[in-house]
A and B are shown apart, each in its own frame.
Chain A
Amino acid sequence: MELIPWPELHAMDQSIMQEILQYLFSGITNGAIYAVIAIGFSMLYNSTDLINFAHGEFVMLGSLCMVTFFGSMHLPLVPAIILTIICVAIAGLVFERLAIRSVKHPEPIVLIIITVGASIFLRGLGMIIWGKDAYSIPSFSSHPPLDIAGAKLLSQSIWIIVIFLVASVGLQLFYKKTLTGKAMEANAISKRAAWIVGIPSKLMVMLAFGLSTAMGGLAGVIIAPITMSSYDMGTMLGLKGFCAAMLGGLGSLWGALIGGFLLGILEALGVGFVSSGLKDATAFVLLLFILYVRPGGIISSADANRF
């Protein structure tokens, strides 16, 4: 075997490093999106035992509202984001009030089927309001991509990661430090016990819906500039987010984070080192494997084995 001269070997090393770094950046960007969506799933599951299969559609609503407010009406960035999140949260509250709370015998399977129906309804609504075309909006800022060891980190990726960090720290503080947050957690642990000590359970469920769909809206906002928004974008994103939540452990916030990033990075590495045609398969095979070894997900909460 011939020895490769040192400078060439070094150069090869560097190009592989650069590649891996690029895959990581791509994975982290997608992972942050999956994580935000997964948090929405987990939050709602935590306080209501409900898996909202319309969650992806709230992401779509967020993305398309952002297109309207930021892209067409040219509102400044921050008001546009806040307005979008408020709109999506209101849609979530209306959904809870009309479709979920009015059910006479709220068994989990009935509610889940209602959410599936709601997802079809919301997709139709999106199609009527925004049409069948895809839309795109510019990046939040027009910085050139950051060059780290030859790999490019896109400016929107930085936005996504920062917004994601702010949102997750904010949620953590809300749950641990505020009375409402603690009440929500109490309600999640035991509805009856929380009710006995005077926590209004209905209000807490409503709040959980609002917060969860607001997170969905936020996910929609941050991905609008990197992808194209259209009425049918939500289903796949919802599915990926759901997988991330399952992977990390349904009901756990940290699990949602870990699951999201793991799924994103695995997908990117799968493209790089296996095959781009098997991108989704790589990730889902690993999901199956992890769930086989740890049925409750990586961070399994005590009651996650219910499903």
Chain B
Amino acid sequence: MLLVNRYRPMMLILSIMAIASLLVTSPAFSASEKKPFKIGGIFAVTGPASFLGDPEKKSMELVVEQINAAGGIDGHMLEAVIYDTEGDPSKAVMGVSKLINKDNVIAIIGPSRTPTTLAVMPMIQKAKIPFISCAAGNKIVAPIDPWVFKTAQSDILAVAAIYENLKAKNTKKIGIISVGNAFGESGKEQLIAQAAGSGLAVTKSETYGAKDTDMTAQLTKIRQDNPEAIVCWGTNPGPAVLAKNIQQLGLDIPLYQSHGVASPKFIELAGSAAEGIMLPTGKILVAGLLPDSDPQKEVLNVYISEYEKKYATSVSGFGGYAYDAVKILAAALKNSNGDKEKIREAIENTKNHVGVSGIFNFSKTDHNGLSPEAFVMVKIKDGTWELLK
């Protein structure tokens, strides 16, 4: 008796623990009657491109959590395995190889950057696994690979949006200045390639270094031909330096920027020099300004409020790429039973999917699925955005 008494507290604790563990594990047991769908994510969560990868990872986790809370897909829970590329192609290759060989995922979302995406594409082709990239570069979907899709708007559409605006103003001569990296080069290529079709002549095409402190020399050169507009292609902070230099030189030439600077940060950096600058942007930046008739307005508002509620930080324009990708994948997973070929086909046949970055209409010949309407043109006025019609 004494013995039992002495051990009673111990027994009590043990039995409580046993019951508790049963309680905790039991829902998992009942759900895992069906094997969870494992999907891979690979983003530049840290490193110089973390402004892309961090919101992408968060958005992916957000959607996965929501889908699981709603009971999963056909009773299968989603399980996301996410690795960090640090924006480095060799780390991206290692991560994707782990996702395919070790984690046995059935689809992969990411990477965030064009160079990392291009680096992993050969493995995707070999493994035959559905893959939705969050990078912007057009090379990802041209030429088309059956397994590779992407959700980010490509610069082709951004250039088209700018040129439409220039054409409406009857502009004939433009000068281009672009940053000397992959983003700037790709933009420059598109700007020059599409110019003739819009009746524009590119008089000068200059470049600058991503860390340059002064661009008055390039502007002096562009000024020689009296262009009617200047188009700058770069990401912060270079374009802000350029805007300041234009103001300081007293150049009275309208300035167009790329979607690469479409964030409040640009207005903060350029200050008063930002006034009057026009640029194309995904609709997320101006969700509040959109008319109620806009088909994306509801999706945008839902995404923004969910994201800001969960993470208590303001939403960025980039997380939407992963949000759209997971949503499209989730729709394709329905009735697929995890069969990769079925998932691929379902993604390719996705029509009228209203997403954060635009309305997706994939087809055999279009694996980005967006039209120029994915972009709206905005003008910076009084330190904030104004929709251009």
Q: Mark B253-280, 1 if CB is under 8 A from A, else 0.
A: 0000000000001001111000000000
Measured CB to CB, the closest approach of chain B to A100, in angstroms, equals 27
B249 CB → nearest A CB, Å: 5
Decide yes or no: A272 and B221 within 8 Å by CB, A132-B50, A145-B248, A227-B237 being known contacts.
Answer: yes
- Known contacts A152-B250, A228-B241: does B217 contact A276 (CB below 8 Å)? yes
**Complex Cα–Cα for A132 and B217 (A):** 28
Contact B213 A223 (CB under 8 A): yes
A280 touches B221 (CB 8 A): no
- Given A19-B220, A22-B216, A236-B206 contact (CB < 8 Å): no
Tell whether, in the assembled complex, residue A23 and residue B217 are in contact, meaning their CB atoms are under 8 Å apart.
yes
B350 interfacial by beta-carbon distance below 8 Å: no
Q: Is the CB of B220 within 8 A of A136?
A: no
Which residues of B sit under 8 angstroms from A154, Cβ to Cβ?
Answer: 216, 248
Question: Which residue on chain B has the smallest CB distance to residue A137?
Answer: B271
Interchain CB contact under 8 A, A227 and B213: yes
Specify which of A29, A154, A228 lies most central, judged by the most chain B CB atoms within 10 Å of its CB. A228
Residue from B213, B218, B248 in contact with A271 in the complex, judged by beta carbons closer than 8 Å:
B218
Total A-B Cβ pairs within 8 A:
91
Q: Report B-chain residues with C-beta under 8 Å of the C-beta of A280.
A: 209
Is residue B34 contacting chain A, with contact meaning CB distance below 8 A?
no
A232-B48, A271-B218, A279-B209 in contact; A227/B241 too (CB < 8 A)? yes
Is there an interface contact between A133 and B224, defined as CB atoms closer than 8 Å? no
B183 at the interface (CB under 8 A from A): no
Assess A233 versus B250: contact at CB under 8 Å? Given A25-B216, A136-B237, A276-B221.
Answer: no
Our pick among B209, B211, B220, B240 for the contact of A22 (Cβ within 8 Å) is B220
Contacts of A276 in B (CB 8 A): 177, 206-208, 217-218, 221
Q: In the assembled complex, which residues on chain B have CB atoms less than 8 Å from the CB atom of A145?
A: 248-250
B268: chain A residues at CB < 8 Å are 136
Cα A227 to Cα B212 in complex, Å, equals 8
Q: Is the CB of A138 within 8 A of B218?
A: no
Contact of A134 among B212, B217, B224, B236 (CB under 8 A): B236
| A304: B residues at CB distance < 8 A | none
Q: Kindly identify which residue among B213, B221, B249 contacts A226, using a CB–CB cutoff of 8 Å.
A: B213
Output the least CB separation between A119 and chain B (Å).
Answer: 15
Contact with A along B215-242 (1 / 0, CB 8 A): 0111011001000000000001100110
The answer to whether the Cβ of A230 comes within 8 Å of any Cβ in the partner chain is: yes
Q: How many angstroms from the CA of A26 to the CA of B270 in the assembled complex?
A: 19
**Per-residue B-contact encoding for A256-282, CB less than 8 Å = 1, 0 else:** 000000000001100110001101100
* B263-304 contacts to A (CB < 8 Å): 265, 268-271
Please give the number of chain B residues whose Cβ is less than 8 angstroms from any Cβ of chain A in the complex: 32
Question: Which residues of the other chain, B, contact A228 by a CB distance below 8 angstroms?
Answer: 236-237, 240-241, 269
Chain A residues near B209: list those with CB within 8 A: 236, 279-280
Q: Which residues of B are found within 8 Å of A15, using beta-carbon distances? A: 224
How far, in Å, is B2 (CB) from chain A's closest CB?
Answer: 60
Asked if B180 lies at the interface with its beta carbon under 8 angstroms from chain A, I say yes
Majority DSSP secondary structure for residues of A touching B: helix
Count the A residues whose beta carbon is within 8 Å of the partner chain — how many?
A: 36
A271 cross-chain contacts in B, Cβ below 8 A:
206, 217-218, 221
Query: Does A30 sit within 8 A of B, measured CB to CB?
Result: yes
**Measured between alpha carbons, how far is A22 from B265 in the docked complex, in Å?**
30
Question: Given A132-B51, A272-B220, A26 and B214 touching (CB < 8 A)?
Answer: yes
List the B side residues contacting A232 at CB < 8 Å: 48, 211
For B236, the chain A residues whose CB sits under 8 A away are: 134, 228
Q: CA–CA, A152 to B223, complex, Å?
A: 13
- A277 vs B218: C-alpha distance when bound (angstroms): 10
Q: Are A22 and B217 in contact (CB under 8 A)?
A: yes
**Chain B neighbourhood of A23, CB < 8 A:** 217, 220
Closest to A273 in B: B221
How far, in angstroms, from A15 to B221 measured CA to CA in the complex? 11
Residue with the highest number of chain B CB atoms closer than 10 Å, among A33, A152, A237: A152
Per-residue CB contact flags for chain A residues 215-227 toward chain B (1 = under 8 Å, else 0) read 0000000010011
Within the complex, the shortest CB–CB distance from B327 to chain A, in Å, comes to 28
Contact indicator B50/A26 (Cβ below 8 Å):
no
Inter-chain contact B221/A133, CB cutoff 8 Å: no
User: Could you give, for residues 17-58 of chain A, a 1 whenever the CB lies within 8 Å of some chain B CB and a 0 otherwise?
Assistant: 001001101110110010000000000000000000000000
- Residues on A with beta carbons closer than 8 Å to the beta carbon of B180: 277
B73 to chain A minimum Cβ distance, whole angstroms, is: 36
Cα A154 to Cα B248 with chains together (Å): 7
Query: Who on chain B is nearest to A16 by CB?
Result: B224
For the complex, what is the distance from the CA of A233 to the CA of B236, rounded to whole Å? 12
CA distance A23 to B215 in the complex (A): 10
| A277 interface neighbour in B207, B214, B244, Cβ under 8 Å | B207
**Additional 6 contacts, C-beta under 8 A, given A19-B220, A23-B220:** A29-B214, A136-B240, A152-B250, A154-B248, A226-B241, A276-B177
Q: Which 7 A-B pairs have the closest CB atoms?
A: A228-B237, A227-B213, A134-B237, A271-B217, A276-B206, A22-B220, A236-B211
Chain B interface residues (CB < 8 Å from chain A): 48, 50-51, 177, 180, 206-209, 211-214, 216-218, 220-221, 224, 236-237, 240-241, 244, 248-250, 265, 268-271
Can you report 22 residue pairs joining A to B where beta carbons are below 8 Å apart? Answer: A22-B216, A26-B217, A29-B214, A33-B213, A133-B265, A134-B236, A134-B237, A134-B265, A136-B237, A136-B268, A136-B270, A138-B271, A145-B250, A152-B249, A226-B241, A227-B237, A228-B236, A271-B206, A271-B218, A276-B206, A277-B206, A280-B209
